[in-house]
């Protein structure tokens, strides 16, 4: 399997996570929507980094690797304009990942009580933006 195929597989999995996030929003499982949205973002960004030949950290927030890509890769202009926002989204949702899984363990608040519908919609919108960017980059590399 080559780099393009691996990246494509990540982005396809990101699409699955996005659909699961949307389903969870529709079901009122807002914490699960946030969790799946974060997975969508993580997989989308890791797929993008793989396409660019940038090694990414084995963590949930890949914003540092996006800085490296910005410095080392000849990115399309449309993507250069998006990098800072992609970094913010990566960090924002990575921070919310743990509580979306486990809740606030110190305060004994379960995850389903931590996130509102508004939180879930915001996370889903962020995931959509990142996923669409990843799909656009995948098409860009397919043409090369």
pLDDT per residue over 95-118, tens digit each?
999 999 999 999 999 999 999 999
Domain that holds residue 43: 3-142
Check which CATH number belongs to the domain holding 59 and give it: 1.20.120.330
User: Smallest Cα–Cα separation from 13: which of 127, 117, 109, 116?
Assistant: 127
Taking residues 22-42, what's their average pLDDT? 98
Distance CA 13, CA 59 (A): 17
- The total number of structural domains that make up the chain: 1
Whether residue 119 is predicted with pLDDT greater than 80 in this model: the reply is: yes
Question: Contact 30/82 with Cβ under 8 angstroms?
Answer: no
pTM of the entire structure? 0.95
**Across the chain, what does the average pLDDT equal?**
95
Residue 20 in 3-state DSSP?
helix
Whether residue 58 is predicted with pLDDT greater than 80 in this model: the reply is: yes
Report residue 143's pLDDT band, with 50, 70 and 90 as the boundaries.
confident
What digits encode the pLDDT tens for the residues 87-98?
999 999 999 999
Whether residue 1 is predicted with pLDDT greater than 70 in this model: the reply is: no
CA distances from 74 to 28, 53, 87, 89, 137 (A): 42, 11, 18, 22, 13
Taking residues 6-32, what's their average pLDDT? 98
């Amino acid at each position: 399997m080559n780099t393009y195929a691996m990246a494509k597989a990540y982005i396809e999995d990101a699409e699955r996570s996005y659909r699961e996030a949307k389903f969870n929003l529709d079901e009122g499982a807002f914490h699960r929507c946030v969790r799946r949205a974060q997975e969508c973002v993580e997989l989308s960004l890791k797929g993008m980094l793989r396409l660019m030949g940038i090694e990414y950290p084995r963590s949930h927030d890949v914003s540092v690797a996006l800085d490296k890509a910005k410095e080392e890769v000849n990115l399309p202009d449309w993507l250069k304009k998006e990098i800072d926002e992609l970094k913010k989204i990566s960090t924002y949702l990575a921070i919310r990942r743990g509580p979306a899984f486990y809740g606030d363990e110190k305060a004994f608040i379960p995850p389903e009580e931590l996130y509102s519908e508004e939180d879930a919609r915001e996370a889903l919108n962020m995931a959509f933006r990142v996923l669409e960017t990843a799909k656009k980059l995948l098409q860009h590399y397919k043409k090369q």
